[in-house]
Chain A
Amino acid sequence: MSAPLFSTWRGELIDNRDSGDRESWQESSLKLPLSLGDRPCRAFIGWDGVAIYDESVDPVRLAMEYAAQYQCYSEACGRCAPGRWGGRILYDLLDKIARGEGERADLAHLQETCSAMRATSKCEIGRTVPVPILQLMEHYATIFEQCIEAGQKSPEYDQEGTRYAAHVTAPCMDACPDRVDIPAYIEGVRDRLLDESVKATRKAMPLAHTCGRVCPHPCESACRRANLDTPISIMELKRLGADFEADRQQHWLHPVEKRPEIGKRVAIVGAGPAGLTTAYYLCMNGVACDIYEALPVPGGEVMVGVPEYRMPKEKYLEDIRFVEASGAKIHLNTPVDADMLRRFEQEYDAIMLASGTRISKKIRCENERPEIEGYWSAIEFLDQINLWEKYRIGSAVDLTGKTVVCVGGGFTSMDVVRCSIRAGAKRVVMLYRRDERTIINNTSLEEYHEAVEEGVEFIFHSAIAQMVDENDVLKEVLCNRFEMVPDPDGGRPKLVKIEGGDYTIECDYVIPAVSQDADLSYLPEEWELEKTSWNTLKTDGKTYMTSRPGIWASGACEYGPMTIVNAVGQARRAADVMYRYLLTGEVKNSESEEMEDLLRRFRVYDKKEAITGWMGGLERPESERLDVAYRIQNNEEVNFGLTPMQAYAEAERCMRCYYIAMVAVAHD
């Protein structure tokens, strides 16, 4: 909560200009940004409104600077007449007024141009740029008129005291932990230029195949199209560009050209998504990277954890080869220990720790003893299945005639139960403490639906209380039943055990897939790296450097087990910070990174916003899937992806909700 001098954000008009002293100012109900990094905001202007925090802000200059930002943006586009010419005229006229040369007719011309841009621009950016400009012209009309009538420069026109930091965002991009340029890759699909599409993806996301298949797509929950009908199938649209590159042998479609070597080296621990991402962006910036991987295969948990039917090995290898094409070297079968790290610190210019979370957490039930035959951690279970199915390493898992009980609720547990079905289990039970809606929220509707189709038995509101064995051989599990009691304060519902609701399930295997812990025992003790209360590596969450200079951490070992896109997002940010560190020795976020973080706190998506200029009632397409009876007998990829025609129609639904956000701060 804060009390701005003036704000129009989200339809809330606050005008404290005549409200006397600050104590009596009306507060905003919004989380308006107050600072950019450590610099206090003087104004925050964007697609929907403008907030001004103090009287010294020059509204004419602010409007002109905002229009100038659009001018910069349209330098990168200019693909519709209202945007191309409207943006130019907007800026020219505002600058004319600001420098004291405006005429009355210019205000009418401005209105006219804004109106054309509002009504017919191709992207939301063109439609929204006039919004705060018109608001300033309305609410600060006297200052605009003063400039014109008196032929005066606007108060700050020649002043250098204020810095205007701008950032292009979109609701979907803001919700993406990796800030993938979603509208751009969708535009590539719409334009039938799939190479441009995959290049746009890879500006932030090297693993285009992977995140075109198994991303939990938080972006889709922030898609404005949902305000009109249904969210865009953002994730699946990503797959087209990646498949184009692979199927039409376009190796490789890098988003930018690799820069010359800068003579620096980085060691990366772990060849999972975070490690691969760090390596890719550093290598493309001319930094030499060595990735050390303990397993005999590259790819980390996505390779050995995510099953073939969901993420085919060959497709993931496309992503990995793409990363290798940037020059990254992956050293397999090379577990890193404390001595090696000490050496790395001498030999390399920086280190990224991206070792993931590879220890399955316990269920925390009675008699939970790993030595009981039938107790099988999810990590070990999936390792065995995937190493065999994908690489023929180890041995096959055969569950013919067996009953498997998995405890979980996230993607890992879904992988466990669906793999169990494919391994021939007689009965597969998923035990989950909460309800169906929560499991769908935690994973995805598709995932849940497919698991049910394949015959997984979901038992909700249940948890294992005790494992029952005979001579260390699992016999059955004793389960408690719970009920969810709503929290009167609006928090997560509380689980309350139902007395007398206990029951047992006879089973051969219990597979805990509740969560994973990081194994950080390989770190040199004397480094004394700070940890979180979850026993993961502690960073500031902005630069991702650990408590020890030169040592970074990203992915699950930093955040705890999360999504691939989260790991990639952290690693990409870290790689950018590391690159600047390698050049300057400074560990600092860029202004654009600060803007990203500022906008994330504010949240770009507004689910209450009414959409204009688009016809609703168009549903998202469903991609074809392998027939259930066939797919449960093998590991073939279940989802065929969208057909080209489905994808184009879907891309046409995308509203290209680019927005410009701009903050005025005092100059350094």
Chain B
Amino acid sequence: MIKLTINQKPITARSGQTILEAAREAGVYIPTLCYLKKVSAIGACRLCVVEVENEAGLVLSCQTPVREGIVVRTQSPALFKERQRIMALYNVNHPLECGVCDKSGECELQNKTAEFQLSDQPFAAKEMHRPIEQWGGFIQYDPSLCILCERCTRVCNEIVGDNRLSIEPGGYKSKIAWRGGDDNRCAECGECMAVCPVGALVSTHFKNRANAWEMKKIPSTCAHCSAGCQLDYEVRYSGSAHGSERSVYRVSNDIHESSLCAAGRFGYGFEPDGASRDEALMRRALEAFAQAKTIRFTPRISNEEAHLLQGLKACRDVNLVCDEAYGFSRFLSRYSQSAGESLYDATTEDVAQSDAIVLFGCAVVDEAPTVRTAIHQAVINRGASVAYLHPIEDVRLSRVSTQVCRYEVGAEEGVAALLVRQFVANAASLPESLKEWIGALDEGYLGAESNLSEEELEQLLASIRRAPKRTLVVGADLYNHPRAEAIATLIGLLRRYGGFSVLMVPPATNALGVALICDLSSEAQGYTVGIDSPGDFTMGSLMPGVDMVLPALSQQEGTLTSMDKRVLPLNVAIPFSGWTLGDIFVRTGMDLEWLIDLTPKLPGGRGYQAISFDALRSASPVGYALPVAKLEVPTAQPEPVEAIGEFNGTVVFHLNPASHPTGTVMRTKALRREGELRASAQFALAARVADGQRVRLKSAAGSFERTFRVDASLKGTIALLESFDQLLENRSRGVYRYETVQIETEGVGA
């Protein structure tokens, strides 16, 4: 610890902390415009200058580390004067039409101008025409409002990992340049917009719709994927006095601490229409539940709802079917037995702290944007090695990956076996039976069939040699693999003997909660109640035309279990006027006032704790983490590796982009669109399809239509198939993500 004095107050700071960080932690205010806690010091605004005793001149506190014994002053007439001068320069030619600026009321330039008592613009320079630019679908950049604080470029590089933004130098003509158009590499996540301190970056969906002070912030957990990002739904009443209706105007977040992806930021407004508290409807629902043999649902339900359903199963034997979570739940339980731990141990923070990261069967950029951010952090801060093991190379990882191993589709079990041989074989205290299993592996066959060479494996081993902290990230390619459970056993061994921490990316929003709370069955049988799923009686918030409309995740209190194994609260952003799942259970005689009364009663055997819902929001960080318990289990004996099947013909990979993780986005204004089929020019040639052409895909599971796009960033012969827009017949549910299909172009309508 380092001792220093700030404004006559003794303070202790950690070595390497900057003066600004130490001051902020100690509650001392230093003005800044460009500072953004989650990225490296920018040093553009110069407002954070302070006086340090015995040092000549002013010292920039955001980039100067603390030193033992220094005496710092953050406020003085001289400092005020310098900061005032800086603000005077910032206000050179900045338009003062705050009344028509979306940022007014939350504009940091406005605030600082007021703070430093500038009532006029003492300097001016010749004005020039600076047209507004459109960055992709919904983000607008107005260079005449931009103060070049560089926050946007920092987050794009350090947080998002796209590095699509840079300073276009030009003195006072400088502006931010966006390179995101042609090669489709900008995630359009809006992170740049979120961190903009002024009104230079705004969303076209929000522009001119509301003032900052008119909206109310409702904190909640993002409903789109399993990352569990904390966000605020900003809501406002609109419409006439008679039909005044509350709706979400935008989504925001604490920009210093957290980030959101496109789905989280722009995917709002997915609440269903047509909710009603019609008694006849309730009677139908009660009848349906009474005769149900199966409840079929999606992992976009809360832990509490999952707990209700599991309770139903416990008291009268109904099948709980959740296609998206089933494979994952089986995978997880086999993994636990093999790893000897109740859950996978790692979190995204562990990824960020890693020296070596191996990604296996996880299309991380699209599947887990927060993990991608963590990878960038590990690379930037620790120089981590990153090995990407996947059948399709992802150019968006090219700035971070040290190794790309493109294995054959279907070869995941073989790859896992080779990883075990490479990383586990020399481990101490390896059981004999495991040694024998490793010894019996046919490496030549596995290597050849999976297309993973000895050199690649050696390089992989070398990359972790000097890496004290290693993390293996696995994803949805594995959970529904025909050999998923055998693979899970091998991943468990990599955890137990290979020195890896393991992070699993759950396949959907609350897949982990469902997997932990519900005892799932594989097949629907008999009379089925479908929650956003097919059934004899259907209910839900996402699927069109359901018999009973249920509240969306933004309309209920409850909790989700995130990828980081945290139990996180949902709040009511938009009121719901219909029946809820809880109402049905109450009508059947359950003693339940609020659904969240169940929050402290979630299964303790799975690590859930007796913590009340209300305590979750006030915790810091929000929610609580499920503990990872050691299990006293013997080392699992892996199964013999099965022959690696071949995927010939036209192969598609079911992958939804990060901005469109699920069908939820189809209910939003900003993100609604049809899914596409995207592939390389090579694929287009082989499959005889052209960019923009409508195609019909036929597979064992049925047929449907897409527009085909040639994607210059893709290589190879596997096409990416988006299917988020197919709620009912969503083909990526519960099946291996690669599929051989037939492509037809004859007679397909535009």
Residues in B neighbouring A247, C-beta threshold 8 A: 385, 402
The residues in B between 149 and 185 inclusive whose CB is less than 8 angstroms from any CB of A are 150, 157-158, 163, 167, 169-174
- Do A85 and B59 touch across chains, with their CB atoms under 8 A apart? no
Query: Which of A88, A119, A248, A618 interacts with B171 by CB under 8 Å?
Result: A88
Q: Is A25 an interface residue (CB 8 A)?
A: no
Q: A113-B123, A615-B64, A645-B381 are in contact. List 17 more A-B contacts (CB 8 A).
A: A75-B170, A75-B173, A78-B169, A81-B44, A81-B147, A82-B85, A84-B171, A87-B171, A87-B172, A116-B89, A121-B46, A610-B56, A614-B64, A615-B67, A616-B55, A645-B382, A649-B65
Interchain CA distance A576-B145 in the complex, whole Å: 42
Interchain CA distance A190-B380 in the complex, whole Å: 11
**Would you give the shortest CB distance from B450 to chain A, in whole angstroms?**
22
Q: Is A80 an interface residue (CB 8 A)?
A: yes
Residues in A neighbouring B82, C-beta threshold 8 A: 116, 119-120
Q: Is B400 an interface residue (CB 8 A)?
A: yes
- Do A613 and B57 touch across chains, with their CB atoms under 8 A apart? yes
Q: Which of A81, A247, A250, A643 has the most CB of B within 10 A?
A: A81
- Do B58 and A644 touch across chains, with their CB atoms under 8 A apart? no
Q: Is A612 an interface residue (CB 8 A)?
A: yes
**Would you give the shortest CB distance from B59 to chain A, in whole angstroms?**
5
Supposing A613-B56, A644-B380 touch, asked if A248 and B148 sit within 8 A by C-beta, the answer is: no
Residues in A neighbouring B89, C-beta threshold 8 A: 81-82, 84-86, 89, 116
Q: Is B398 an interface residue (CB 8 A)?
A: yes
Residues in B neighbouring A613, C-beta threshold 8 A: 56-59
Q: Which residue of A lies closest to B399 (CB)?
A: A248
- Do B46 and A122 touch across chains, with their CB atoms under 8 A apart? yes
- Do B16 and A76 touch across chains, with their CB atoms under 8 A apart? no
The residues in B between 67 and 92 inclusive whose CB is less than 8 angstroms from any CB of A are 67, 70, 82, 85-86, 88-90, 92
**Would you give the shortest CB distance from A495 to chain B, in whole angstroms?**
44
Q: Is B43 an interface residue (CB 8 A)?
A: yes
Q: Is A92 an interface residue (CB 8 A)?
A: yes
Supposing A116-B85, A614-B59, A643-B383 touch, asked if A192 and B123 sit within 8 A by C-beta, the answer is: no
The 13 listed contacts between A and B (C-beta, < 8 Å) are: A71-B171, A76-B169, A78-B167, A81-B86, A82-B85, A84-B171, A85-B89, A88-B125, A89-B89, A109-B122, A192-B380, A615-B70, A644-B383
Q: Is B310 an interface residue (CB 8 A)?
A: no
**Would you give the shortest CB distance from B736 to chain A, in whole angstroms?**
30
Contact with B along A147-177 (1 / 0, CB 8 A): 0000000000000000000000000000000
Q: Which of A113, A121, A248 has the most CB of B within 10 A?
A: A248
Q: Is B433 an interface residue (CB 8 A)?
A: no
Q: Is B401 an interface residue (CB 8 A)?
A: yes
Residues in A neighbouring B45, C-beta threshold 8 A: 80-81
Q: Is A648 an interface residue (CB 8 A)?
A: yes
- Do B56 and A79 touch across chains, with their CB atoms under 8 A apart? no
Q: Is B275 an interface residue (CB 8 A)?
A: no
Interchain CA distance A607-B382 in the complex, whole Å: 35
Q: Secondary structure at chain B's binding surface: helix, strand, loop or mixed?
A: loop
**Would you give the shortest CB distance from B55 to chain A, in whole angstroms?**
5
- Do B67 and A85 touch across chains, with their CB atoms under 8 A apart? no
Query: Which of B70, B85, B125 interacts with A115 by CB under 8 Å?
Result: B85
Q: Which residue of B lies closest to A247 (CB)?
A: B402
Residues in B neighbouring A614, C-beta threshold 8 A: 55, 57, 59, 64
Q: Which residue of A lies closest to B171 (CB)?
A: A74
Q: Is B635 an interface residue (CB 8 A)?
A: no
Q: Is B49 an interface residue (CB 8 A)?
A: yes
Q: Is A393 an interface residue (CB 8 A)?
A: no
Q: Is B571 an interface residue (CB 8 A)?
A: no
Interchain CA distance A249-B404 in the complex, whole Å: 10
The residues in A between 62 and 82 inclusive whose CB is less than 8 angstroms from any CB of B are 71, 74-82
**Would you give the shortest CB distance from B622 to chain A, in whole angstroms?**
29
- Do A79 and B402 touch across chains, with their CB atoms under 8 A apart? no
Interchain CA distance A85-B171 in the complex, whole Å: 8
Interchain CA distance A464-B543 in the complex, whole Å: 93
Q: Is B41 an interface residue (CB 8 A)?
A: yes
Query: Which of B44, B49, B382 interacts with A643 by CB under 8 Å?
Result: B382
CB-CB nearest 7 A-B residue pairs: A612-B57, A613-B57, A78-B174, A612-B56, A74-B171, A116-B85, A120-B46
Residues in B neighbouring A76, C-beta threshold 8 A: 169
Q: Which residue of A lies closest to B63 (CB)?
A: A652
**Would you give the shortest CB distance from A117 to chain B, in whole angstroms?**
9
Q: Which residue of B lies closest to A92 (CB)?
A: B125
Q: Is A617 an interface residue (CB 8 A)?
A: yes
Q: Which residue of B lies closest to A87 (CB)?
A: B171
Query: Which of A75, A79, A649 interacts with B44 by CB under 8 Å?
Result: A79
Query: Which of B43, B125, B157, B158 interacts with A80 by CB under 8 Å?
Result: B43
Residues in B neighbouring A81, C-beta threshold 8 A: 44-46, 86, 89-90, 147-148
Q: Is A338 an interface residue (CB 8 A)?
A: no
Q: Is B572 an interface residue (CB 8 A)?
A: no
Residues in A neighbouring B58, C-beta threshold 8 A: 119-120, 613
Q: Is B52 an interface residue (CB 8 A)?
A: yes
Q: Which residue of A lies closest to B150 (CB)?
A: A79
Q: Is A193 an interface residue (CB 8 A)?
A: yes
Residues in A neighbouring B123, C-beta threshold 8 A: 85, 89, 109, 113
Residues in B neighbouring A612, C-beta threshold 8 A: 56-57
Contact with A along B386-411 (1 / 0, CB 8 A): 00000000000011111000000000
Residues in B neighbouring A77, C-beta threshold 8 A: 169, 171, 174
- Do B16 and A248 touch across chains, with their CB atoms under 8 A apart? no
Q: Is A340 an interface residue (CB 8 A)?
A: no
Contact with B along A78-119 (1 / 0, CB 8 A): 111110111111001000000000000000010011011001
The residues in A between 107 and 149 inclusive whose CB is less than 8 angstroms from any CB of B are 109, 112-113, 115-116, 119-122
- Do A248 and B401 touch across chains, with their CB atoms under 8 A apart? yes
- Do A648 and B92 touch across chains, with their CB atoms under 8 A apart? no
The residues in A between 306 and 353 inclusive whose CB is less than 8 angstroms from any CB of B are none
- Do A82 and B16 touch across chains, with their CB atoms under 8 A apart? no
Q: Is A611 an interface residue (CB 8 A)?
A: yes
Q: Is B612 an interface residue (CB 8 A)?
A: no
Interchain CA distance A120-B33 in the complex, whole Å: 14
- Do A78 and B402 touch across chains, with their CB atoms under 8 A apart? no
- Do A122 and B398 touch across chains, with their CB atoms under 8 A apart? no
- Do B169 and A644 touch across chains, with their CB atoms under 8 A apart? no
The residues in B between 347 and 386 inclusive whose CB is less than 8 angstroms from any CB of A are 380-383, 385
Contact with B along A623-657 (1 / 0, CB 8 A): 00000000000000000000111001100100000
Q: Which residue of B lies closest to A120 (CB)?
A: B46
Q: Which residue of A lies closest to B125 (CB)?
A: A88
**Would you give the shortest CB distance from A248 to chain B, in whole angstroms?**
6
- Do B16 and A649 touch across chains, with their CB atoms under 8 A apart? yes
Q: Is B522 an interface residue (CB 8 A)?
A: no
Supposing A248-B399, A616-B55, A652-B63 touch, asked if A79 and B174 sit within 8 A by C-beta, the answer is: yes
Interchain CA distance A648-B158 in the complex, whole Å: 14
**Would you give the shortest CB distance from A257 to chain B, in whole angstroms?**
15
Supposing A109-B123, A116-B86 touch, asked if A84 and B172 sit within 8 A by C-beta, the answer is: yes
Q: Which of B44, B89, B122, B381 has the most CB of A within 10 A?
A: B89
Interchain CA distance A247-B380 in the complex, whole Å: 13
Residues in B neighbouring A71, C-beta threshold 8 A: 171
- Do B46 and A192 touch across chains, with their CB atoms under 8 A apart? no
Query: Which of B49, B57, B382 interacts with A644 by CB under 8 Å?
Result: B382
Residues in B neighbouring A652, C-beta threshold 8 A: 41, 63-65
The residues in B between 507 and 565 inclusive whose CB is less than 8 angstroms from any CB of A are none
Residues in A neighbouring B43, C-beta threshold 8 A: 80, 122
- Do B59 and A618 touch across chains, with their CB atoms under 8 A apart? no
Q: Is B40 an interface residue (CB 8 A)?
A: yes
Query: Which of B44, B46, B57, B157 interacts with A193 by CB under 8 Å?
Result: B157
Residues in A neighbouring B56, C-beta threshold 8 A: 610-613
- Do A84 and B381 touch across chains, with their CB atoms under 8 A apart? no
Q: Which residue of B lies closest to A126 (CB)?
A: B46
**Would you give the shortest CB distance from A641 to chain B, in whole angstroms?**
9
**Would you give the shortest CB distance from A606 to chain B, in whole angstroms?**
16
Residues in A neighbouring B158, C-beta threshold 8 A: 192
Interchain CA distance A92-B16 in the complex, whole Å: 42
